Amino acid sequence: MRFKLLTICLSKMLFFVILSVSPFLQAFAYDEECLQRASLRYGVPEIVIRAIIDMESGGKRLAMNIEGKPYFPESDLEAQKILEQNKGRSTDVGLMQINSFWFKKLNVPQTYGFRECFNINFGTWILAYEIENHGLNLKAIGKYHSPDNAKGRSYSSRVLDIMIKILKNG
């Protein structure tokens, strides 16, 4: 009950903060135009997308996670090789660390996840799906990461901390 009240309060506060700071969120290394288009296309605030990218990959396009073990390949070829060697295992790829589940579900080659703009759009689409189901709140952000409520709460709390840091440094 306490978490639910906190989520509601933070969600309302987040909504007003997002409206007031969006012009100040330009200091990131990935494709700004793509992020802005994805934000508009799917109705997801830019700051949420940025915080998830920071949380998931630190802005590293080739970041990977294979069943809990992080990898940071130096090249596309190395990233593809790691994927091939771990075929059939749960793998997260790219800026927004999109899980192999989504690629299989939509019959999309997982190597597309290393394409910066594709990854941002795909990840934002997944996040928009969770927002549609749960509202623009911490629960939706948690569900982006995991269907497990406890893991989702922990994740969304860390994403919220990143959003606060972005706002302070913006």
Facing residues of 169 across strands?
A: none
pLDDT in tens, 70-82: 999 999 999 999 9
The structural domain count of the chain equals 1
* Phi-psi category of residue 83: left, alpha or beta, with phi > 0 → left and psi -120 to 50 → alpha: alpha
Could you tell me if 120 and 30 are in contact, meaning their C-beta atoms sit under 8 angstroms apart? Answer: yes
Residue 72 inside a domain? The answer is no
pLDDT in tens, 96-112: 999 999 999 999 999 99
Could you tell me if 96 and 123 are in contact, meaning their C-beta atoms sit under 8 angstroms apart? Answer: yes
Residue 20 inside a domain? The answer is yes
Residue 35's H or E segment, with its range, is: helix 32-42
Among 123, 133, 145, CA closest to 61: 123
Strand boundaries in the chain, DSSP class E? 64-66, 69-71, 91-93, 98-99
Residue 94 inside a domain? The answer is no
Residue 17 inside a domain? The answer is yes
Residue 141 inside a domain? The answer is yes
**Tell me, what amino acid is at 147?**
P
Residues of the chain with pLDDT below 50 are 2-3, 5-28
Full residue range of the structural domain in which residue 109 is found: 2-59+101-169
